Chain A
Amino acid sequence: MLRRLGLVGAALVPLGLIATLAPATALAADVAPQTAVAVDTGKITVGPGQAALIALGYYLSNSPWLFGLAYFTLFRPLVAGFFVGLILGDPAQGTLIGAAINVPYLGFISAGGSYPSDVPFAGWVGTTIALAGGLDPASAVAVAVPLGLLGILIFYGRMAVDSIFAHWADYFAEKGDITGVALMNVVPSQVFLFVISFVPVFALAWQGPDLVADWLNQTPLWFSNGLVIAGGILPALGIALTMRFIFRGSAIPYFFLGFILFTFTNGSMSLVVIAAIGLALAYLHLAFTGAGDPVAASAVPASGRKPESKPAAEPKVRLRRGDLLRSWATWTFFSHANYNYERLQGTGFAHAMTPIIRRLYTTPEEIQAALKRHLVFFNTEPNFGNVIHGTVIAMEEQRANGAAIDDDAINSVKSGLMGPLAGIGDSLSQSTIAPILLALGIGIAGGTASGGTIPTLAPGTTGNPLGAIVYIALVSVLIVSIGYVAWMQGYLRGRAFVTDLLRSGAIDRVIVGAGVLGNLVLGALAAKFVTVYLAPTVDVAGAKLNIQASILDPVFPGALALGVVMLTWWLLRRTSPLIVLALLLAFSIASALPLFGPGQRNAGDYSYEACTSTLLHPWSPCGEPPAPEAP
């Protein structure tokens, strides 16, 4: 408490300044970081207006209003942290906390209505509580991850209730009411989502920081130390989850190379430079391994199909470019507006077809049939999978002009392609593009510590909002481009586009090349964010030597952190991420238990108190205990 009183005046002083002042209050320069654990950097009071903005941000991250990009931007804690920081007046620290919270979710993937954790809940609420409650980024991670599990309830509620609105859309389809179907895809689901998102997040953002900070103040010190230790270990989970996608085959060595590049340059090599090296290596890797070469003609039987033939007669009705664009934009905005267990993107597909139906069909019977045809179960990756929409639109156009294309033909394209294209699309967007760009953004956001030490999550590190901004720009351009090209090529070339693209090996090349780059960056990120500090010391010639600092690290810096990552990866192959998460949390907190006596010489002397951990320390190095003060 004395320590906190001493820092009350520093509430609004940038963290870098705190770090330079801290040694003055500490006992020795090398234990300085220990003066700042859990709750110390001063609080920000969250006003109701700010809480409302944060709650709105959380709603938007699951909403359709950001041109389909919410899932790749506001959804991610790195971005959420930046915006929470802006709202609360400290974007640098917000970005840093968001980046830290994002690391455990680096390998997050939601496919086919599965949803392992409410990532934006952890991002928006976690950053708010940490920033306003004055938690350091490491404790923020340990607080945010359980929040993410709590938030899943919101997703489940939405997936179940939205099924009802699909039936409302059926009702309008039966009447041939195009606008009705479009509205049913958006209005009821979004009103419902807004209510179940806004209310809990508003309450938590407004009142949560004080509650959590007070609660942390009442817990024993070893427990809050345990949270900080967990904050250093939980990033291993996100890295290991991402490794499940990219850590394989001939790309494996690049992970270790990335780790070593970072540790052996003492963290002075920026993630951007490492990514540039990764690009060069990816090029060389592809050139020398020949991965992704075009599939030999003999390996795959020629499909013998030509691009969908146009009817010979002069068409009665033609789609205009504006119709295609409107349809594409509708899908890009609203594909997941009414996502539900029963039909997943079914109503979104029908909604996207409304501009097409308006142009092609005039009789109520035709309109009714077309709406019903497209209101069925549908689910694919909403960007690369757009090939299906383009193809289906071309088929609808031919049908309207009298070609013999029945419902079965259209349904079989949709149901046959939605799976495989989701497989390819998810491999590209969710498990390659997003984690690699996030890793880059998180790396930039992690900033550098004052005093030239290795940038970690330690107090004194300043965040860099540029990390969030660079990530948003890159991911948005890539995702929208993929969606647009797939849509238009699907329309122009139909199924030939799919086979040509797959046969060319281009997608394999992208995935293999991105795997090389991704492993290198991921390795560096592991070195940057996974932090483990061993407590035990050995007596050597009368001096107490820390096993890690004096023996392990001089041989292989970061060996312990690498060991934790590999162990987590190994565990993930055997059990579920939730169990691994629980294990890591329990282990971290238990490792801080002061089993070997209080070891406390000065009451309230935190820097020494923190060093009573049995196994792991919150920060390193933990110096020699101070001499007792003269009475």
Chain B
Amino acid sequence: MRRTTRRKLTRAGLYVLFFALVIAVVAAADWQRLGEQFLRFDIAREQLPEIITIALRNTILFTLISFVGGLLLGVVLALMKLSSVPPYRWFATVYVEIFRGLPALLTIFAMAYMVPIALGIRVPGGQVGAGLIGLILVAGAYIAEVIRAGIQAVPKGQTEASRSLGMSPTKTMGWIVLPQGFRIIIPPLTNEFVLLLKDTSLLFIAGSTVMTKELTTFARDGLTTHSNGTPLVMAAMLYLLVTIPLTRLVALLERRMARGR
């Protein structure tokens, strides 16, 4: 058999296998029951408008808070990691290893219950607020690595040119290196944002009140109340409504970066 013939046959076989599997699943599934369990319009209507005005709003709010917090923490950790003073480097390295190595869920859980006890303070937002601190700690560790990579991607000649003009190390970092580094890391940073948006679902472990429910918690409560999966489907669609445009944006940015300015 010629090689091209054999390749054509393999491809045809793969097509047949794929559609056979799809048809088997479609035929085996109980569509009516699935529809009743996951796409009930009366239940869907009942979720509105709170699933948007409270749940989606909280998801976005928590994402923004943890992203901004993680960004500030990330800049500090990245600068520490690149510091010429060894203890700062050690601290940042250990920090990043710990919070990247632990499950985010565990960190959030621990913070939600530990922070109020350890510091004897009431975090604004109660346990969810304390849980958010956990999410910021985790986000900071990931974002620190992204920022460090961005700083190191700025050519050394930029630092040298800046220093040769009499700019101090701090001024050089603030006016020359960081602005360029941030430009480089916009795509991976947007990626972190999307990951963080999804990770806000982990805040359910912190326990939430009616007003602090985010999408996943809201949907889970809906699932329990109605013994029906429709709220989960709605939450899923709302997540995708935000994440898909964002990931498209990242792809667009990456293409623009590749073309170069």
User: Is the pairing of A and B real?
Assistant: no
